[in-house]
Structure 1
């Protein structure tokens, strides 16, 4: 990914770190460290590993990442997501279907239109950690 695309993706999601967010990320990290037996148990279950790879696959596309970044701040309609991602309505709908199938995004009907949002806080944490890690790599290259 180019620096320009990464900068755009980083600016799209609110990456302001509060004390609570810092604790959440460090708690997440320490949970992985302190519960290595749980991590081993998850990794021993092929269904869990497959589901995890599907989530990371969903996050690995630039357009899907833009959609998720836009949804990271608030619920949005297809037309709002189309503006944020700069792609066609058809492309947004296709990507939303994949994100829903992977359990990363949920939808609700509001009159005649569908409103989309991030499925849960785990997805926001994955976005934040991924962006922070990518930003560290870019800073070290400079």
Structure 2
């Protein structure tokens, strides 16, 4: 019977060269889980907006809430998620807490994703 689904393989042949090339480079479960958690943390429109703001400058919760027209409580919740995923960090100056990207990798991840969706 003809395979009506052209995007699946209709044979049962293992390409040993492909398997051997890849098997030593497959990520361990812990790394896979950590990477999955990173992408989950980014996978929210509000958190993407926050990262976009923090690419440009550090900002406090009040600034971010004002820019996004959201409550400070809602922004604080999203910042906790980003902080636990090591995407943002904070520093205190008196009573004000300023948030910024955790490191340059966050900007790289964001820019690569942005370039991908714009292509």
Query: If the TM-score is normalised by the length of the shorter chain, which range does it land in?
Result: 0.7 to 0.9
Q: Encode CA deviations 1:95-120: one digit per residue, 9 max, x unaligned.
A: 00111111111011111011100001
TM-score, reference length from structure 1 = 0.64
Root-mean-square deviation (CA, aligned residues, Å) is: 1.8
CA contact (8 A) 1:66 1:84 kept: no
Secondary structure at the aligned position of 1:87 is classed as coil
Greater per-residue helix proportion = 1
Structure number with bigger Rg: 2
**Alpha-carbon distance, 1:84 to partner:** 2.3
Q: Is the 8 A contact 1:76 1:116 kept in 2?
A: yes
**Larger relative contact order (Cα-Cα within 8 Å, sequence gap ≥ 6):** 1
- What is the CA deviation profile of residues 72-102 of structure 1, one whole-angstrom value per residue up to 9, with x for unaligned ones? 1111111111122221111100000111111
The equivalent residue for 1:110 is 93
Whether 1:119 aligns to 2:116 is no
Unpaired runs of at least 5, structure 2: 1-20
User: What TM-score does the superposition give when structure 2 sets the normalisation length?
Assistant: 0.76
Aligned residue pairs total 98
Indicate the residue corresponding to 1:81 in structure 2.
64
- In structure 1, stretches of 5+ residues that fail to align are 1-35, 137-142
| Counterpart in the other structure of 1:64 | 47
